[in-house]
Structure 1
Amino acid sequence: MALTIEEAAILDVIERYEFKYLVPERLVPAIRETACAVGRRDRYANEDGSYRIRSLYFDTRGFDLYWANAREQRDRFKLRVRTYPGKKSPVFLEVKRRVQDVIIKSRACVPAADWRELVEHRHPAALERLAPGPRKAAEKFIGALHRHDLRPVVIVDYQREAYESTLDNYARITFDRRVVCQRKEALDLEASDGRWRPVDHPVQTQTHEPVCVLELKFERRPPAWMVALVRRLDLVRRSFSKYCYSVNAQLTLPDTRAARLEGGPLP
């Protein structure tokens, strides 16, 4: 299932592994120290070393993508539109597929002014304005959207602190904090300040202290320094889907959670 370099370049594809952990904030300085020793801060970070990410997630009326993730199906995917608030950012149309532990992500970088028209109407002129790589990735996104009859469900917004290794071809450490969400059924990335609900709150994560979402990302096998870090701090992998946790955060009545998911839109 591995892609050749040429195939990846054509589709603008990232193929990697992602290991997730919920780590107490008290462990972050030690992890950050390792990240700085083997690499550097993400080049797109703000002065405080972080940047915001906002994603609009799509699903079916029956929330099939949610249930595939919640049940940890071996082959599943997510569809999202991503932007970076506070920056003059284009919009990225992303299909993120997981096959066992392998993550395969295709993304199309499109102008912020064009993405809605492109997604809703497959606008030929907007497609033609894209380079061949982004065009193929956009067609893949739009094809999945219409084939599965997907619609906007929820917006997820969070702060990311990221580091990239200078010792490896591809290895990254990211910390995600202040994860919030709100219901979204329209095809846009706007949000109302008063409607955010917390996703990484201890009540949601079932932890006794504040945590952040740590992700270790790498190609094929984890670098030796990453393995040593996990062993030294005794980190334990934990599934944490921001999309699934966000859907759960919108469902405040546990007794009717499944019925609401299977029967209709979020409250």
Structure 2
Amino acid sequence: MNLKYRHELKYFINQHQYQIIRQRLKNLVKQDKHVGPTGEYAIRSLYFDDINNKALHEKLGGIRDRAKYRIRIYNNDDRIIHFEKKIKFRDYIAKLKEPLTREIAEKLISGNYEVLRHSDKPLLIELHEEMKNNLLRAKVIVDYVREPFVCENGNVRITFDKDLRTGLNEVDMFDANLHCVRAIDDNLIILEVKYDEYIPEYIRLALQLEGLNRQSASKYVMCRKFLKTNSWEDY
């Protein structure tokens, strides 16, 4: 598997900071080509973890090198479904992904890993082994709205993630009417900055990152804390 590692910075910002930074960026960079008329799109991910909640405990324990698995869709649409593995290595991140059909996605969500038994895709072979040997299973839905900006210099991607919600114990990620509850303070937005080798100085000045509240809590962890207690949720 070919991995492209990138830097990733995360910050909590309030509505006032968001308005200021967003206004600066609009004069400097372009919006992502996939946004809708509002300049945003919706992201829904269903995260998986194993019988020991390895991904959760490694994050809470501060383990630097770790990985998470998820199925992701956009705008509650099943035309594009990806299974993804997000890898953290030291201060870098990388992502691997493979497309899924809705039929296969639903079987994986139900715990049926045999649908991947004859796959020739390394990532899906890995998923099959994780589900079979380590009881990797769907755990929590993470739902939010993203407003993305991109800058070709340094391959910088800046996103404002808003209205973070979780689907509690429900795992039907294709349900457009899924009942989700807010998993973050109403006034908070998650600012993420991803880049290859450098952030151009004019972008750094616009973001003024040094004055922001850098945070490490993942959306997965923030949403897991809202889960109702199940036999595997007693962490």
| TM-score tier (shorter) | 0.7 to 0.9
Distance (Å, rounded) in 1 between the aligned partners of 2:117 and 2:18: 47
Residue 46 of structure 1 aligns to a residue whose secondary structure is coil
Partner of 2:30: 40
1:185 and 1:212, CA in 2 relative to 1: closer, same or farther beyond 3 A?
closer
Distance (Å, rounded) in 1 between the aligned partners of 2:90 and 2:56: 16
Partner of 1:183: 168
Distance (Å, rounded) in 2 between the aligned partners of 1:57 and 1:86: 16
The structure 1 residue matched to 2:70, chosen from 80, 85, 102, is 80
Partner of 2:114: 121
1:265 and 1:85, CA in 2 relative to 1: closer, same or farther beyond 3 A?
same
Distance (Å, rounded) in 2 between the aligned partners of 1:63 and 1:87: 29
The structure 2 residue matched to 1:217, chosen from 183, 186, 194, is 194
1:234 equivalent to 2:211? Answer yes
Distance (Å, rounded) in 2 between the aligned partners of 1:144 and 1:171: 33
Partner of 2:158: 173
- Give, in angstroms, the shift of residue 191 of structure 1: 4.1
Partner of 1:249: 226
1:175 and 1:100, CA in 2 relative to 1: closer, same or farther beyond 3 A?
same
1:181 and 1:73, CA in 2 relative to 1: closer, same or farther beyond 3 A?
same
Pairing 1:86-235 to 2, within 5 Å after superposition: 86-87=76-77, 89-117=79-107, 120-123=113-116, 127=119, 135-168=121-154, 170-184=155-169, 188-191=172-175, 193=177, 195-201=179-185, 210-231=187-208, 234-235=211-212
- TM-score, normalised via structure 2 length: 0.85
Identity %: 24
Residue 89 of structure 1 aligns to a residue whose secondary structure is strand
| 1:236-262 alpha-carbon deviations (Å, 9 max, x no partner) | 3111311101011225xxxxxxxx58x
Residue 73 of structure 1 aligns to a residue whose secondary structure is coil
- Give, in angstroms, the shift of residue 95 of structure 1: 0.7
- Give, in angstroms, the shift of residue 232 of structure 1: 6.9
| 1:38-95 alpha-carbon deviations (Å, 9 max, x no partner) | 3211111110000000001111233221111112211111110001134453211111
Which consecutive unaligned segments of at least 5 residues does structure 1 have? 1-6, 129-134, 203-209, 252-259
Which consecutive unaligned segments of at least 5 residues does structure 2 have? none
- TM-score, normalised via structure 1 length: 0.76
- Give, in angstroms, the shift of residue 221 of structure 1: 3.2
Residue 143 of structure 1 aligns to a residue whose secondary structure is helix
- Give, in angstroms, the shift of residue 18 of structure 1: 1.1
Residue 114 of structure 1 aligns to a residue whose secondary structure is helix
- Give, in angstroms, the shift of residue 121 of structure 1: 1.7
- Give, in angstroms, the shift of residue 219 of structure 1: 0.9
Residue 45 of structure 1 aligns to a residue whose secondary structure is coil
Distance (Å, rounded) in 2 between the aligned partners of 1:81 and 1:156: 10
Measured on the aligned residues, the alpha-carbon RMSD in Å equals 2.7
One-letter amino acid of the structure 2 residue matched with residue 199 of structure 1: A
One-letter amino acid of the structure 1 residue matched with residue 167 of structure 2: Q
Distance (Å, rounded) in 2 between the aligned partners of 1:88 and 1:115: 10
Q: Point out the structure with the larger helix share.
A: 1
1:192 and 1:33, CA in 2 relative to 1: closer, same or farther beyond 3 A?
closer
